Chain A
Amino acid sequence: MRKYTPKDNVQGKAYYTDRFWVAPRVPRTSVEEDSHFADIVSALKKYAKDSYVEVGQLIVHIKPTDNISALSILKEKCGYTQCSELSAVDYLAQDGEFEIFYQMLNVTEAARVRVVCRLKQGEAIESIVPLFKMANFAEREMFDMFGIVANNHPYLKRILMPEDWSGHPLLKTYPLQGDEAASWYEVDKIFGKEYRDIIGSENRDPAKIDRYDTKRFSRVGYEVQFDADISGGEKENPIEYSKTIMANYQKPSKKLKERR
């Protein structure tokens, strides 16, 4: 029987886990009264679903629709004038949701708050570019890597990957090896499809070693003449690529689910 591999998370896994092993948790503490963080929590009371302190930083959970109002309170009332980072975590396989976090910095108090919200698959989040211009690049990166659309973003386009790329690399469903299409991508793009026969597919395995290549590799103890043919008529095996299964999260259909 073939080994079962889950298709909704194709990332690397530990090859062995003790069955009685339970992972401990980083300690979370509740917000101390009369601290700076307590003021933040009371200012965000209307929006905060949950709040606690983890590794010295306040974490506030909000609804994804409240992100603009909560962040503007943080910026205007609480002095969190810089958003250091925003991005997402893929929890589609477990919950069908993305976790989006906004990492905020208060320059005068030297305090950091992380605002976290859970966004359902296929939904869009409101862009925070009107509040923090750094989101211009950060939300583009989030869109590029996860396919999360930010509404009213001035220029929502791929940023790190090529514009004609398909798929979003940081999804857990994204394959770890390039497929057939990836090995022809650059040849098609630079020269055109008609050059495929002349140029050949791209070697996308950086560790590939041709056993019979006597130009670039030598064999210790079995030295031969430069460029000698030592294959004895045997052919090299071409590299095999895994089959890509792309899931479109914008349109969840039953058929697609079955295929996955």
Chain B
Amino acid sequence: MQVTNKLTPFFENLNFERNDNMMVINFGPQHPSAHGQLRLVLELDGELVTKAYPDIGYLHRGIEKMAENMTYNEFLPTTDRLDYIASTANNYAYAHAVEKLLGIEAPRRAQVIRTMLLELNRIISHLFFLATHALDVGAMSVFLYAFREREFAMDLMEDYCGARLTHSAVRIGGVPLDLPKGWLENLEKFLDAMPANIKLYEDLLTENRIWKMRLEDVGVISGEDALNWGCTGVMLRGSGIKYDIRKEEPYELYGELEFDVPVSDRCDSYGRYRLYMEEMKQSIRIIKQLIPMYSDTQPQLMAHAPQYISAPKEEIMTQNYALMQHFVLVTQGMRPPVGEVYVPTESPKGELGFYIKSEGEPYAYRLKCRAPSFFHAGLLQEILVGTYIADVVTIIGSTNIVFGEVDR
């Protein structure tokens, strides 16, 4: 007699035979193209998807709950684990939200470094998108080329902060470290090589017949629907709505920098692919402008706000009062004023915003992470209906969802 349990079910009572073409299939949660733990329940009529139900939550770690039980500085490394492809974007979004709550601003050198890191992370994230999206659609070589450049970019991150994926390179009030010697030269070398590499990817893909057949008019979403479903970032700009938070609500140094916001009114996966390529070029342009700005800045790296931010190390080691402040800030944590903020930033995936409600305690009373991928995952239930099963993978890849962020 077979012992049945959930792992070895007893199948004899189930009837798999039906007379029509309808079928329900389970896509994921372990599927290489699901980009994480996405389970999709698809109802098919032949090869046509008639209903899609995205089931998420397989990577839920309760990050918002953790935020309520950690001091503000303790929580920062946890934000690395949201969108783990571009950690600095999350660190920055969180640090920036807390800074708004505290009413402080990072010193200029920290701002230059942060903006550089943010844009470098955007390149890393977009390269990852390109590599995995192309791999999903079947272009293996692009994956290899894009990952090669991504390695070089991650080497730069490693040289700066010691970590390749979970950077925590941005802190509340500034950055912890100055740029190491020779880093800017390496960065410049990387940036000089990038345009040729981007041209290589574009030569391989942009006019490629198969690539165009797989992407054009696949995953079409109108501008109105994109707004309605809470799409942001490339998903919104790919539907003809020009809204980039870096441009419209400038933060950090974006107000001073010159860059263009690419928009596509194709509303399909191909248009979004073109936007990603264009955004990488714009990121290179931004970092190139930042490099000369670095040498004009004062060496201060953390904001001066003794109530909230520890003094620099040399002051802590030499001045008694700075040491006392540091001790209180480390053991008890900073206490921001009572109030609430919602601060949006443009992460590589879209609008990453942190809503923080503070009751004046060292722990946030409520922290809500507005993750772009969460809403893009919700969009799948509409965008997949009416497409063919072969296009499902293309559409998931094109939405560029990362499950650390969807499930939090």
Write the nearest CB–CB distance from A97 to chain B, whole angstroms. Answer: 14
A190–B378 Cα distance when bound, in Å, is: 28
A24–B305 Cα distance when bound, in Å, is: 15
Residues of chain A within 8 A (CB-CB) of B360 are: 23-24
B60 is an interface residue with CB less than 8 A from chain A: yes
Q: Are B65 and A103 in contact (CB under 8 A)?
A: no
Residues of chain B within 8 A (CB-CB) of A23 are: 335, 337-338, 359-361
A46 is an interface residue with CB less than 8 A from chain B: no
A21–B362 Cα distance when bound, in Å, is: 13
B342 is an interface residue with CB less than 8 A from chain A: yes
- Per-position binary interface string of chain B over residues 231-258, scored 1 when its CB falls under 8 Å from any chain A CB and 0 otherwise: 0100000000101000011000000000
Residues of chain B within 8 A (CB-CB) of A110 are: 243, 248-249
Within 8 A of B (CB), among A129-172: 132-134, 136-138, 141, 145, 158-162, 169-170
Q: Are B338 and A14 in contact (CB under 8 A)?
A: no
Residues of chain A within 8 A (CB-CB) of B407 are: 160
B370 is an interface residue with CB less than 8 A from chain A: yes
Q: Which of B339, B362, B366, B408 contacts A54 (CB 8 A)?
A: B339
- Per-position binary interface string of chain A over residues 12-55, scored 1 when its CB falls under 8 Å from any chain B CB and 0 otherwise: 11111000010111101000000000000000000000000011
Residues of chain B within 8 A (CB-CB) of A25 are: 337-339
Q: Are A12 and B228 in contact (CB under 8 A)?
A: no
A14–B366 Cα distance when bound, in Å, is: 15
Residues of chain B within 8 A (CB-CB) of A11 are: 68-69, 363
Q: Are B375 and A54 in contact (CB under 8 A)?
A: no
Q: Are B65 and A82 in contact (CB under 8 A)?
A: no
A145–B65 Cα distance when bound, in Å, is: 10
Q: Which of A84, A138, A141, A145 contacts B353 (CB 8 A)?
A: A84
Within 8 A of A (CB), among B338-381: 338-344, 351, 353, 355, 357-363, 365-366, 368, 370, 374-375, 377-378, 381
B26 is an interface residue with CB less than 8 A from chain A: no
Q: Are A83 and B5 in contact (CB under 8 A)?
A: no
For the complex of A and B, list the 8 residue pairs with the smallest distance between their C-beta atoms, beginning with the closest: A23-B360, A26-B339, A134-B230, A137-B378, A12-B69, A110-B248, A160-B57, A85-B370
A25–B355 Cα distance when bound, in Å, is: 16
B294 is an interface residue with CB less than 8 A from chain A: no
Q: Are A161 and B227 in contact (CB under 8 A)?
A: no
B56 is an interface residue with CB less than 8 A from chain A: yes
Write the nearest CB–CB distance from A30 to chain B, whole angstroms. Answer: 16
Residues of chain B within 8 A (CB-CB) of A82 are: 227-228, 230
Q: Are A101 and B355 in contact (CB under 8 A)?
A: yes
A23–B399 Cα distance when bound, in Å, is: 43
Write the nearest CB–CB distance from B343 to chain A, whole angstroms. Answer: 8
B332 is an interface residue with CB less than 8 A from chain A: yes
A57 is an interface residue with CB less than 8 A from chain B: yes
18 pairs of residues in contact across A and B, judged by CB atoms under 8 Å? A12-B68, A12-B70, A14-B361, A16-B332, A55-B100, A57-B342, A59-B340, A84-B232, A85-B342, A103-B353, A107-B243, A132-B230, A133-B225, A137-B377, A138-B230, A160-B60, A170-B64, A170-B366
Residues of chain B within 8 A (CB-CB) of A101 are: 355
> Which residues from chain B sit less than 8 Å from chain A, CB to CB?
5-7, 56-57, 60, 62, 64-65, 68-70, 100-101, 103, 224-225, 227-230, 232, 241, 243, 248-249, 332-333, 335, 337-344, 351, 353, 355, 357-363, 365-366, 368, 370, 374-375, 377-378, 381-382, 407-408
Q: A23-B337, A89-B365, A107-B227 are known contacts; what are 17 more A-B pairs with Cβ within 8 Å?
A: A12-B363, A13-B363, A14-B332, A26-B340, A57-B342, A84-B232, A87-B355, A103-B353, A110-B249, A114-B342, A132-B230, A134-B229, A160-B407, A170-B64, A170-B65, A174-B65, A190-B7
Q: State whether A191 and B68 are in contact (beta carbons under 8 Å apart), knowing that A23-B359, A26-B339, A85-B370 are contacts in the complex.
A: no
Residues of chain A within 8 A (CB-CB) of B378 are: 133-134, 136-138
Q: Which of B70, B335, B338, B368 contacts A85 (CB 8 A)?
A: B368
- Per-position binary interface string of chain A over residues 68-86, scored 1 when its CB falls under 8 Å from any chain B CB and 0 otherwise: 0000000000000111110
Q: State whether A192 and B6 are in contact (beta carbons under 8 Å apart), knowing that A57-B342, A81-B227 are contacts in the complex.
A: yes
Residues of chain A within 8 A (CB-CB) of B232 are: 84
A185 is an interface residue with CB less than 8 A from chain B: no
Residues of chain B within 8 A (CB-CB) of A118 are: none
A90 is an interface residue with CB less than 8 A from chain B: yes
Q: Are A90 and B227 in contact (CB under 8 A)?
A: no
> Which residues from chain A sit less than 8 Å from chain B, CB to CB?
11-16, 21, 23-26, 28, 54-55, 57, 59, 81-85, 87, 89-90, 101, 103, 107, 110, 112, 114, 132-134, 136-138, 141, 145, 158-162, 169-170, 174, 176, 189-192, 195
A133–B365 Cα distance when bound, in Å, is: 28
Residues of chain B within 8 A (CB-CB) of A138 are: 230, 375, 378
Write the nearest CB–CB distance from B261 to chain A, whole angstroms. Answer: 12
Residues of chain A within 8 A (CB-CB) of B365 are: 89
A54–B340 Cα distance when bound, in Å, is: 8
Q: Are B366 and A89 in contact (CB under 8 A)?
A: yes
Identify which of A90, A132, A159 gathers the most chain B CB atoms within 10 Å of its CB.
A159
Q: Are B355 and A85 in contact (CB under 8 A)?
A: yes
Residue in chain B with minimal CB distance to A12 = B69
Q: Which of A15, A24, A191 contacts B332 (CB 8 A)?
A: A15
Residues of chain B within 8 A (CB-CB) of A170 are: 64-65, 68, 366
Residue in chain B with minimal CB distance to A134 = B230
Q: Are A137 and B374 in contact (CB under 8 A)?
A: yes
Residues of chain A within 8 A (CB-CB) of B333 are: 14
Residues of chain A within 8 A (CB-CB) of B335 are: 14, 21, 23
Write the nearest CB–CB distance from B297 to chain A, whole angstroms. Answer: 26
Residues of chain B within 8 A (CB-CB) of A159 are: 56-57
Q: State whether A24 and B243 are in contact (beta carbons under 8 Å apart), knowing that A84-B230, A103-B370, A110-B248 are contacts in the complex.
A: no
